[in-house]
Amino acid sequence: MQYGLRAALGFASQSLDNATILSTNSVTTYSLSAYVDLPFKKFFIQPGLSLVGKGVKQYQEAQTNTITLTYLDIPVTAIYKFNLRTLGKVYIGAGPYASLGLSGTNQVESVSIISGSDVKFGNAEDYRKIDLGVNFAGGIELNNHLTFNMRYALGLNNIASDADLDAKSVKNRIFTIGLGFWL
């Protein structure tokens, strides 16, 4: 069993079904993770705990909303590792995640006004509190315990709140590139 820490730069977006949104773009975010490798036959089960930034930039007719969200993620990834003789290991994996919305902001820019507000989580608020999905992982573990990794998290459940009548569906997406270290 091994314990590790990871920090990553992320590019977050959302899949939206909302008639008032003309287009979207990604926002730059972060991810900080602690995880453990549990050996299981030829695989490893890698549960973790992560603080993850998610969000989106939305373009409407005369307004741009930059939404940044902070979640506590609990991913459980099944990992398969390929040995490289002198370098270390290459790995790939996939598995589910569950997230709990902690905080967020919505910065609104229009022609003459810039304002902001806090995002609230709950069924009758801005977004639902729980986000569920699947993550895909790949990377390199060097013999000196340094790791380079990439992850893609695909939100599967609708986090649009009951209060947002325009949004039929909102699903988080995030791609991260990071560095880690086995302790």
* 6-15 confidence digits (pLDDT tens): 999 999 999 8
Residue of 173, 142, 164 lying closest to 71 (CA atoms): 173
pLDDT in tens, 76-113: 999 999 999 889 999 999 999 999 999 999 998 888 88
Find the domain containing 171 and state its range.
2-182
28-79: pLDDT as tens digits: 999 999 999 999 888 999 999 999 999 999 888 888 989 999 999 999 999 9
Kind of pairing between the strands at 88-110 and 43-59 = unpaired
What is this structure's pTM?
0.90
Closest C-alpha to 171, from 18, 7, 2: 18
CATH, residue 177:
2.40.160.20
Structurally, how many domains does the chain consist of?
Answer: 1
C-alpha distance from residue 61 to each of 21, 70, 168 (Å): 8, 27, 19
